[in-house]
Structure 1
């Protein structure tokens, strides 16, 4: 008779593994960990905080229409003052994860956002991805990160 083998533990889920679609807010931590593992930080913490705050607000404004006035260069008013209707319901919009990283130079950055939302047609989808580009402008010692038009 062979010696009994020591039982092995089942492999644990990798912290970078993405949760299944529809997992809800419970999976957001795994999505954040996956982003951070894929793109190591390369900006000063103060720039990261500034960019993440701006990126989240810009995405929320784009998706829900709330706060578009804060970004007149990104959301110019249409002729006659009509605004584009928001594509996503505010109550069904959630940013799941976000990181800010350099984009080729210290004066350019990209905010990677993963988010979930219900569109006007009622379809709810998570793990949507949006990348927003920013350029650093320094005037009289003051640093400002300015969003760039989406291409």
Structure 2
């Protein structure tokens, strides 16, 4: 005869599950936990040199997109019609909390996953924002072998 699972005793609380992520608004102190969480959830799968190059490019692209600084360096990612858009975030209140670069469906495709915080033009601060930049490997000489893909 099968026995029924035992019920939780009356009045007892369900177990508390703690998040590996810091609470919103933790500030710079929580960034390391976010980085560790990303790395644990998505193990590295690129050569270290590719990962470094992609992270540098991904951070620069995000900064250019959010603050407007450096958009001209990325004409493929920021076509002329986006070059003149007013930046949505102030540079003084923008920071990248964590970033990883990983393969994205094949050896010649990668994605840089960024978690960031910023204060928008209206003065609202939000952390834990997520942006992905996708790249393809190219073979042009004298330039980066990774080309960012335009955002749709």
Q: Which runs of 4+ in 1 moved over 3 A?
A: 139-143
Whole-Å Cα distance in 2 between the matches of residues 124 and 115 of structure 1?
11
Please state how far the C-alpha of 1:140 moved relative to its aligned partner: 5.5
Match of 2:42 among 39, 50, 71: 39
Once the two structures are superposed, what CA deviation does each residue of 1:1-59 show, in whole Å capped at 9, x if it has no partner?
Answer: xxxxxxxxxxxx98x81100000000000000000000000000000000000000000
Whole-Å Cα distance in 1 between the matches of residues 128 and 142 of structure 2?
38
Relative to structure 1, is the Cα distance of residues 30 and 146 closer, same or farther in structure 2, using a 3 angstrom cutoff?
A: same
- Structure 2: 5+ residue stretches without partners: 1-16
Please state how far the C-alpha of 1:77 moved relative to its aligned partner: 1.7
* Structure 2 residue matching 1:99: 3-state secondary structure: strand
- Structure 1: 5+ residue stretches without partners: 1-12
Please name the residue that 2:131 is paired with. Answer: 130
Please state how far the C-alpha of 1:141 moved relative to its aligned partner: 9.5
Please name the residue that 2:107 is paired with. Answer: 106
User: Structure 1 residue 50 and structure 2 residue 45: aligned?
Assistant: no
Please name the residue that 1:65 is paired with. Answer: 68
* Structure 2 residue matching 1:138: 3-state secondary structure: coil
Please state how far the C-alpha of 1:150 moved relative to its aligned partner: 1.4
Write the mapping of 1:10-49 to structure 2, written as runs, cut at 5 A: 17-49=20-52
Please state how far the C-alpha of 1:82 moved relative to its aligned partner: 6.9
Once the two structures are superposed, what CA deviation does each residue of 1:101-150 show, in whole Å capped at 9, x if it has no partner?
Answer: 00010100000000000000100000000011000012359761000011
| TM-score (normalised: structure 1) | 0.84
Relative to structure 1, is the Cα distance of residues 72 and 98 closer, same or farther in structure 2, using a 3 angstrom cutoff?
A: same
Root-mean-square deviation (CA, aligned residues, Å) is 2.1
Greater strand fraction, Structure 1 or Structure 2: 1
Whole-Å Cα distance in 2 between the matches of residues 148 and 140 of structure 1?
19
